[in-house]
Structure 1
Amino acid sequence: MRGDGGDIYWRRRMSLLVAVLVVVAVVAWACSSGSGPERSSSAQTSPSASVSATPSVDPLLAGLRTLAMGTASPTPSTPTPKATPTQRPRRPGEPCPEQDLVLSLQGGKEQIYPGDSRPSFMVTLVNTGTVMCTADVGPRAMEIRITSGADRIWSTADCVSGEGTEVRQLQRGVPYVRSLEWDRRRSSSDCRATPSVALPGTYVATVRMGRMRSTKGVFHLR
């Protein structure tokens, strides 16, 4: 029984000691928290103190802020210039590019053909490239056409016998020349029809080759 009474005694003493320590801790915490606003108010009433005070910055936050600023506005990089592909040199005998050809028509300009006289024309095709090339100068590929207003009167592409192709080699600067004489008769895709004679009036002759067009040759039939 005495032993039990001694234990109870010491337990009460320990409980009292813990309670005292808790009270001291609460009082200390209250004093420290009370001094915070007081210091804050004194800083607000003193302009010089607020200006000169330098807030402490967490190094970790400062590093994160710097990293975020760098991500938001990256330094523009200089674009790498693209390499220009080198053009393969043309080999002699390859088809002529249209940009290397000059197509022209001579004759018929403002000329008057009375009676049974026949208009005559001369077509030239010149290679301005660096090497010899080939071109189809057949009646379909290099078409000579005569019109009167919107009316298609005559064309070398009408009623062509055979394949109608004629591939020629064009040396640089050496013109290919073709001359023709129009018999003043109309032509059509229906080769079985008997062609009629063109009436007196104003006519226009042009040469067509792919996307190329020659200058117009205007002439008159009387």
Structure 2
Amino acid sequence: MDPDTMRGDGGDVYWRRRMSVLVAVLVVVAVVAWACSSGGSGPERTSSAQSTPSVTPAADPLLAGLRTLAMGTTSPSPTPSVPKTSPVARPKRPGEPCAESELVLSLQGGKEQIYAAGTKPSFLVTLVNTGPVMCTADVGPRAMEIRITSGADRIWSTADCVSGPGTEVQQLQRGVPYVRSLDWDRRRSSTDCRTTPAAALPGTYVASVRMGKLRSTKGVFHLR
């Protein structure tokens, strides 16, 4: 073709046609490439995105601790508890005062007995040490009181009108009872130590022994 014929309007038309064909080829290639890439993975990605829930990443414990320290809200470390230890009891030495928990106090006699006029009621008091070793106890009339009552009326007591110190310390061997006998003269006693005490009237009476917090069983008897 003559180069002169390509000049002017004819040349412009020729190059426009060439550019249109090139653009059409590029568009076709792009469409084919898009179809290939989206056909296998597009739906799966959509399904995966719809079925898989979003997971919130777990907080880093180290960062959380640093953030708490920065805010000044850290809780104090718990103080370790120290186990309590019971003190070891010292072995009891012979001759030390008896513990009340190691003593057994009892009263014999007077239970439902009837004493005729002029007959003195008699009683027997025993004190036994059940501890591991010999111990001492005050069995004087004030410390170990024998009391006779009638209802709410206090009739007679060994603690009334005691002369001297009124103490009597005894050594109590383990299992060996201390024994005291008592005959009541059927007269009342009082703390004012009257010289002529009144005689007790016929009726029902109760005898008992007390020593600190210890109490014996009660003996009920009757006077005629």
Unaligned 5+ runs, structure 1: 1-46
Alpha-carbon deviation of 1:137?
Answer: 0.3
Distance change (3 Å), C-alpha of 1:203 and 1:60: closer
Q: Which residue of 2 aligns with 1:91?
A: 93
Alpha-carbon deviation of 1:111?
Answer: 0.2
Q: Percent identity?
A: 76
Distance change (3 Å), C-alpha of 1:64 and 1:208: same
Q: Which residue of 2 aligns with 1:123?
A: 125
Alpha-carbon deviation of 1:209?
Answer: 0.3
Larger Rg: 2
Q: Which residue of 2 aligns with 1:177?
A: 179
Inter-partner Cα distance in structure 1 for 2:58 and 2:149: 92
The superposition leaves residues 117-167 of structure 1 with CA deviations (integer Å, 9 ceiling, x where unpaired) of 110000000000001000000000000000000000000001111000000
Distance change (3 Å), C-alpha of 1:49 and 1:132: same
Distance change (3 Å), C-alpha of 1:61 and 1:50: farther
Unaligned 5+ runs, structure 2: 1-48
| Aligned residue identity for 1:174 | V
TM-score of the superposed pair, with normalisation by structure 2: 0.69
Q: Which residue of 2 aligns with 1:82?
A: 84
Inter-partner Cα distance in structure 2 for 1:59 and 1:149: 80
Inter-partner Cα distance in structure 2 for 1:135 and 1:59: 70
Q: Which residue of 1 aligns with 2:193?
A: 191
| Aligned residue identity for 2:131 | G
Q: Which residue of 1 aligns with 2:153?
A: 151
The superposition leaves residues 80-126 of structure 1 with CA deviations (integer Å, 9 ceiling, x where unpaired) of 43212100111111100000000000000000001111100000000
Q: 1:105 aligns with which of 82, 104, 107?
A: 107
**How many residue pairs were aligned?**
174
4+ residue runs over 3 A deviation:
47-68, 71-77
* Root mean square deviation, CA, Å: 3.0
Q: Which residue of 1 aligns with 2:166?
A: 164
Distance change (3 Å), C-alpha of 1:50 and 1:171: same
Q: Which residue of 2 aligns with 1:136?
A: 138
Inter-partner Cα distance in structure 2 for 1:56 and 1:88: 61
Distance change (3 Å), C-alpha of 1:49 and 1:57: farther
Distance change (3 Å), C-alpha of 1:55 and 1:161: closer
Distance change (3 Å), C-alpha of 1:55 and 1:115: closer
SS at match of 1:194: coil
